Amino acid sequence: MTSPKPMTLHYWLTVALKDLPEPVQLRLEDEYRAHLLDSESPNDVQGVLGDPNMVKKQLGSLYFTTYKLKELEQAKRGRNIFVHTFVAAMALLGSWIAWDSHGKDLTQLFGPVSVLLISAVVWGCSARSPLIKRQFVRSSWTVSALQIMLWSGWTISLLSGQSLGAFMGYYVALFPALMLYQFWDARQNYLRLDRTLRLVGTPN
Amino acid sequence: MNTRERLRLLILAVLERQPEHGYAIAQAIHARSEGLLTAREGTLYPALHALEGEGLILSEEREVGGRLRREYRLTEAGLGALARTRTDWQAQIRAVQAVLGLPQQEAQS
């Protein structure tokens, strides 16, 4: 019975660096090749460098794949416009309710107006960023914007003494934790994007 | 301290002495720990790239022994992070020693 062929460096690199953008692959290929040449067992690729699948997983948490970068380059203007049009419509509705109640019921305005103000800040702060980062930041915020508007409406209703049921009560209470996680996740992905673009470059 | 955090600390500690390329970092970790600790060499480079992304280390290509190598060095931010991690690690060691009833040792400078 013949022993299995030792893993080649080419195969190891193909697995470990799969789907990463080419500039990222080139840099890592140079480093791994040099490392193996320096080692005492340059023919024992897996013995020196370890499991390529484990390395692939770790690199995946640091860099976006080529496919993901292309996806981020696609503008999501349609979704951004739709969500903000909806929020603006809710602001108008809140304004009508406030006018109709002769200024007594301003609570319905709070959520949509807050979200629109934050959106204006996000759009303004990201205006000078490279296109792909700009789209990432705006798209990430838009996902949260609608949720925050709805949550603020339910919270105000609860605080005004309205009953929304046990499920909504728990949702309102737990929502801030969900939002914190979303923002943390978005920040981690922004850092991943930044790290990737440092090697790939930022066409604008 | 998990494996990932330990590897980060070891890399920063090695680079505190002098700039090194990846293989030299792995060998330094192995040598200074008298063979007890090994950086799993394939996973060393994701850790180096992560530290560089955080601004704790910088890298540049240099010619070493007639070959082009990427050398890493510690930044000011990296020095600060190393000092903080050392303090945390020493506190953990003291706490474990206290629980085990071992004599408290002076922290090495």
Q: What pLDDT was estimated at residue A79?
A: 81
Structural domain boundaries enclosing B46: 3-100
- Per-domain boundaries in chain A: 9-63, 69-199
Task: For chain A, give the percent of residues with pLDDT over 90.
Answer: 40
Q: What pLDDT was estimated at residue B40?
A: 66
Q: What pLDDT was estimated at residue B1?
A: 67
| Res. B81 pLDDT band, cuts 50 70 90 | very high
Q: Which residues of B57-81 are buried (b: 16+ CB within 10 A; e: fewer)?
A: bbbeeeeeeeeebbbbebbeebeeb
Chain B closest CA to A135's CA: distance in Å?
21
Q: Which of A73-77, A114-118, A166-170, B82-86 has the lowest mean pLDDT?
A: A73-77
Q: What pLDDT was estimated at residue A201?
A: 81
Q: What pLDDT was estimated at residue B80?
A: 94
* Cβ <8 Å between B53 and A35: no
* Cβ <8 Å between B41 and A39: yes
Nearest to B43 among A28, A50, A194 (CB): A50
Task: For chain B, give the percent of residues with pLDDT over 90.
Answer: 44
* Of the candidates A61, A75, A71, A76, the residue with the CA atom closest to the CA atom of residue A196: A61
Q: What pLDDT was estimated at residue B105?
A: 58
Q: What pLDDT was estimated at residue B16?
A: 95
B44 in Cβ contact with B22 (< 8 Å): yes
Residue indicated by tokens 């009953």: A163
Chain B closest CA to A140's CA: distance in Å?
21
Long-range contacts of residues A7-13, Cβ cutoff 8 Å, at least 24 apart? A7/A45, A7/A46, A7/A52, A8/A45, A9/A33, A9/A36, A9/A45, A11/A45, A11/A52, A12/A45, A12/A46, A12/A49, A12/A52, A13/A52
pLDDT tens track for B17-58: 999 999 999 999 888 776 656 656 888 999 999 999 999 999
On whether the pTM is more than 0.90, the answer is no
How far, CA to CA in Å, does A20 sit from each of A15, A25, A57, A117, A191? 11, 6, 11, 37, 16
* Cβ <8 Å between B22 and A35: yes
Q: Which residues of B touch A35 (CB under 8 A)?
A: 22-23, 26, 41, 44-45
Q: Which of A11-20, A95-104, A165-174, A179-188 has the lowest mean pLDDT?
A: A95-104
Task: For chain A, give the percent of residues with pLDDT over 70.
Answer: 96
Interface test with A, best of B30, B41, B63, B67 (most A CBs within 10 A): B41
Instruction: Tell me which chain B residue has its CA closest to the CA of residue A52.
Output: B42
Q: How far apart are CA B31 and CA B27, in angstroms?
A: 6
pLDDT tens track for A30-87: 999 999 998 888 888 988 898 999 999 999 999 999 999 888 887 677 888 888 888 8
| Higher local confidence (pLDDT), A58 or A111 | A58
Task: State how many domains chain B has.
Answer: 1
* Cβ <8 Å between A31 and B67: no
Whether B78 is covered by a domain: the verdict is yes
The CATH number covering residue B87 comes to 1.10.10.10
Q: How far apart are CA B89 and CA B63, in angstroms?
A: 36
Q: What pLDDT was estimated at residue B107?
A: 47
Q: What pLDDT was estimated at residue A1?
A: 58
Please provide the average confidence, as pLDDT, over all residues in chain A. 87
Chain A closest CA to B9's CA: distance in Å?
17
Contacts of A16 (CB under 8 A, 6+ apart): A28, A32, A49, A52, A53, A55, A56, A59, B42
* Cβ <8 Å between B23 and A34: yes
Chain B closest CA to A38's CA: distance in Å?
7
Q: Mean pLDDT over residues B51-70, rounded?
A: 89
Q: What pLDDT was estimated at residue A204?
A: 47
Whether B107 is covered by a domain: the verdict is no
* Cβ <8 Å between B70 and A35: no
Q: What pLDDT was estimated at residue A167?
A: 81
Please provide the average confidence, as pLDDT, over all residues in chain B. 85
* Cβ <8 Å between B70 and A62: no
Q: What pLDDT was estimated at residue B36?
A: 56
